[in-house]
Structure 1
């Protein structure tokens, strides 16, 4: 496969992920950053499922999985997580910000692990 093709597949996945993230954020309304938490946990689960599948499947190269890696990259959002955590610290309490950090890390790591275990 050519490098241009692989980059294009990655970009398509990223675009699809970003559009879905935006749509979900519009559907989930809260004064807390619940939408970001949900997309980051779902993205971690999807990536765990895919990596677990790749680990168990024969004949699928990492290059051929660019679509899913692009999708997860466009779907999840560390920059929004960082900004929303700072906003929680400024407008609420340090405990809200720390809770967001801990909850995000534990749930995302747990979802990635679950995806690997399920496959």
Structure 2
């Protein structure tokens, strides 16, 4: 396969899209964009993520080749996560989307309130 076809139902690119653009996938990519982190650091930095969801998200991103898991042979176990070169490229893309959302949040909230008011007026 030369290139994915996101619009095709059976294309494996849809799984990658799901992993990268899930709420936690985007946030993990953004945090790891700056440096390597331990699991506990990631969990503290990403407000609201459960241990289970963070572990699952890291596994998905690792299986897609976007994140490296580095296990140090020490007691207690010491595991760190970092982006691969492919993950760095992906992080730059989702960072652009995240930046757009943060910059345009006031406009989005105004539009949301306007739609809510229009809906309420028709009831």
Common fold by TM > 0.5 = no
Give TM-score scaled by structure 1 length.
0.30
Structure having the higher helix fraction is 1
Answer with 1 or 2: which has the greater Rg: 2
Higher share of residues assigned strand: 2
TM (norm. structure 2) is: 0.29
Report which structure shows greater RCO (CA 8 Å, sep ≥6). 1
